[in-house]
Structure 1
Amino acid sequence: MAKKNVNDNVIAQNRKARFNYNIIDTYEAGIALTGTEIKSVRAGQITISDGFVTVHNKTALLTNVHISTYAQGNQFNVDPLRTRQLLLHKREIVALEKAVQESGITIVPLKVYMKHGFAKVLIGIGQGKKKYDKREDIKRRDQERELGRRLKH
């Protein structure tokens, strides 16, 4: 049986994260969700572009991620922007906590996907890029695109 690729089940992606940050390390974490939230996530009703991760009292928290309310959820719906707990091992949380203490380091969600029926988030430890770094990335991407066009024709 062929092994499924994680990219097949991607629900949401934060494309600006890799542009705005140099991603140093990545971790896969589960998200503690309610019943109506997981139904909204499976329907693709999640936005992670403004999200970030904080470590507080030995727990990792996913903040500012919008999961729309489930249409048939009625009284069981919760606040779309509530802070959600990330499910990580203690050693991973300690590593994240140490990384955040450095200047200019932040933890951002890179993508949300389904794995074995569970919602997972890929989080990355990122160091903010300067404006000239972003310009170099744009220049390199344009050069690669132009080279691809020339090789195609």
Structure 2
Amino acid sequence: MTAHTPETTGKTYDVTKTDEQWRAQLDPQEYHVLRQAGTERPFTGEYEDTTTEGVYACRGCGAELFTSAEKFASHCGWPSFFDPKDSDAVELLEDTSLGMRRVEVRCATCGSHLGHVFEGEGYATPTDQRYCINSISLTLRPTRA
């Protein structure tokens, strides 16, 4: 079984584009992650170690998803957040694509794949959750001083 993609679930999002439009907007690696539920290699993403203050938005549609206030150093190879900016900003779906149960995280505005959320790992965060998000699915908007 493969991971759910917006194109296979049939769900309608506020931002919808044809496959051709997505391919024109995104480079091949961005398309693979955001539209085909792929994953970037660990420790290669531009935001894994970033401590810049700001808002992390969906690279597909620009919706605000996470903030630097919820970002923490998990040392897992991808940017980690303990909570989204707004509970309605993301949607969570069961993912059994690797023969195990995981929870996929998607942008609630355009359905782009962001990563997965895990809980109970023992991180000292307020939610005991780790939103493990692909850097390539995000765009950081730094806070202006």
TM-score normalised by structure 2 residue count: 0.26
Name which structure has the greater RCO, CA cutoff 8 Å, separation 6+. Answer: 1
More helix per residue: 1
Give the structure with the higher percent strand.
Answer: 1
Larger CA Rg, structure 1 vs 2: 1
What TM-score, normalized by structure 1, do the two folds share? 0.25
